[in-house]
Amino acid sequence: MDEQNNGEIFSTDLAGIIVGETEISNVDGVSGSLSYRGVNIADLVNRPVMEVVGLLLFGADGASPEVQSDARLLRDASSSERLCDYEEELTAFTIDHRRLSAEELQLLRDLPFDLHPMLVLQGMIPFLNIPYREQAEGSILADEVVQQGLGIAAKIPSIIAARHRLINGNSIIPSGDSLSLHENFLLMFHGRVPSREQVRILDAVQILQMEHSFNAGTFAGRVCASTLAPIQSSISASVGTLFGVLHGGADQAALEMAKKIGSPDKAAAYVADCLERKIKIMGMGHREYKVVDPRAKILKPMALSLCEQGQGKELLEVLVSVEAACQTAFAKQGKEIWANVEFYKGAVFHSLGIESNFFTSLFAMARVYGYVAHYLEFSQNSRLIRPRAKYVGR
């Protein structure tokens, strides 16, 4: 960022520039904390997924400001009751909307099978049909835009699972009517009922990456929303932005890096070569956090407990060695660097039987709830986002 003589601020990446306000989440990069609606992520990671979605989108009405400030919200009677209501209503809505229509399934079949899942997802979202349905008075789902956003969110797991089945030559598994969000997804993806532990792990990972303030994908969605484009366009723009390897695509890139390195004893040489040639090591460091990414604090132990045998263990050992080599190399320069949430997430997904080219689409499956929350918040006081450019031509 550079302060110009005429008092105008010039920034090519908007680093440090405040471009809006939000009550949805807070990223404190100095202390290394992340909170949703004032509740620390560590207090939410083991909560029911739809309860967290409800908190993220609608807050906890009825709670006093003191209660809303931290984990006391989860113990407050009125807030707890409200969050349970959210979970019940959102779960019913999701089950009711997650099946793909015959036309949507045919579109999935017609797309080239070598197209990356993230491009498929981005392209499919504007075509999803979410008919408006009347709701009971006082329902959080009464608004048509809310129904559109959450209807898209409900269908995304079905798109990912169906696409996975199709490109592997398997029959599509229909959605279950009584299964939780991630139990249903893993069943549709693999064609077998997952264990309770697998569902618990996926719940935790998805809660960790559900929302992260004005990240690139979310900001792209807000820019799109500022033009008064519909929520389908906004979500599609966000998903397209998430695909980049400097954003959500780092999870796939990090695991594929581990496969390329091959063994822990080669990690130090790989890191040294990257640093010498100024090649970015995917998943190391974070733009916002000056200390350890709080999500990585939770995810790394999870990966270590999961990946105890086979290829998963080998890949994790490589990742651990890469992080250690990076820390050693940067320490010599008087700097600290830590793995972010993307770095070890790939190892967790791998242990769940998810292929690396589907990692980022699972990220989108979680982050879509953050996109919907921001669209709703931004639309309350929408203003066209139109920055200026410094002309340097002839």
Q: What are φ and ψ of residue 240, in 5° steps?
A: -60, -40
CB atoms within 10 A of CB 246: 11
pLDDT value for 71: 60
Q: Which domain range does residue 43 map to?
A: 21-89
Whether residue 113 is found in the same domain as residue 240: yes
Q: Does a structural domain hold residue 297?
A: yes
pLDDT value for 268: 93
Contact by Cβ (8 Å): 150, 19: no
Whether residue 111 is found in the same domain as residue 204: yes
- Model pTM greater than 0.75? yes
Domain count of the fold of the chain: 3
Write down the mean pLDDT value for the chain: 89
Whether residue 25 is found in the same domain as residue 40: yes
Whether residue 109 is found in the same domain as residue 222: yes
Write out the DSSP string of 326-380: HHHHHHTTT----B-HHHHHHHHHHHTT--GGGHHHHHHHHHHHHHHHHHHHHHT
Q: Could you state, in chain order, the average pLDDT of each consecutive group of 10 residues for the chain (394 residues)?
A: 62 87 91 91 94 92 46 66 88 95 95 96 95 87 95 98 97 90 97 94 95 95 97 98 86 88 93 90 76 86 83 88 90 84 86 92 97 96 92 92
Q: How far apart are CA 183 and CA 49, in angstroms?
A: 11
Whether residue 198 is found in the same domain as residue 115: yes
Cβ neighbours for 152, distance < 8 A, ≥ 6 positions apart: 125, 128, 130, 231, 232, 235, 368, 372
pLDDT value for 286: 72
The last residue of a domain, from among 57, 89, 121? 89
CATH number for 204: 1.10.580.10
As given in the structure block, the two tokens for residue 251 are 């999870």
Contact by Cβ (8 Å): 322, 257: yes
Whether residue 158 is found in the same domain as residue 231: yes
Q: Does a structural domain hold residue 280?
A: yes
The last residue of a domain, from among 68, 89, 110? 89
